[in-house]
């Protein structure tokens, strides 16, 4: 029954081209397969939007509209790795002497 009502929403030209996109690394993949869906939930449409977050500012992404909910996936998720190395002037093993404290 849900598929019969879905066809009137899918007449927009955006759905035909937006299901498969080329990612930044050049790999074609189905973007809708990673959208978590409940049993019986069907995808109606998806569009590129900019969400104005009150904490982080504007976030570019895709909003997926199903027959049950809205799902926003960010396209600008920063992937990063960092190395944190702290330098101390004093050797940590010589700071505390338990023998002197015991006396």
Q: Is the pLDDT of residue 85 over 50?
A: yes
Domain residues of the chain, as ranges? Answer: 2-78
List Cα–Cα distances, 53 to 39, 58, 61, 76, in angstroms: 30, 6, 12, 13
State the pTM of this model.
0.41
Span 64-88, mean pLDDT? 75
What share of the chain has pLDDT > 70, as a percent? 60
Nearest to 66 by CA among 91, 38, 95: 38
Can you tell me whether residue 54 is helix, strand or coil? coil
Min mean pLDDT across 26-35, 36-45, 62-71 is at 26-35
Q: Burial-class residue 31 by CB neighbours within 10 Å (0-12, 13-18, 19+).
A: middle
Whether the per-residue pLDDT at 15 is higher than 50: the answer is no
What's the rounded Cα separation, in Å, for the pair 31 and 76?
15
């Amino acid at each position: 029954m849900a598929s019969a009502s879905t066809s009137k929403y899918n007449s927009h030209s955006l759905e035909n081209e937006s299901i498969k996109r080329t990612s930044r690394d050049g790999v074609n993949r189905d973007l809708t397969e990673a959208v978590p869906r409940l049993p019986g939930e069907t995808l109606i449409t998806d569009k590129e939007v900019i969400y104005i977050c009150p904490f982080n500012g504007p976030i570019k992404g895709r909003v997926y509209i199903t027959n049950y909910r809205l799902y926003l996936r960010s396209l600008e998720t920063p992937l990063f790795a960092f190395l944190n190395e702290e330098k101390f002037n004093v050797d940590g093993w010589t700071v505390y002497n338990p023998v002197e404290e015991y006396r």
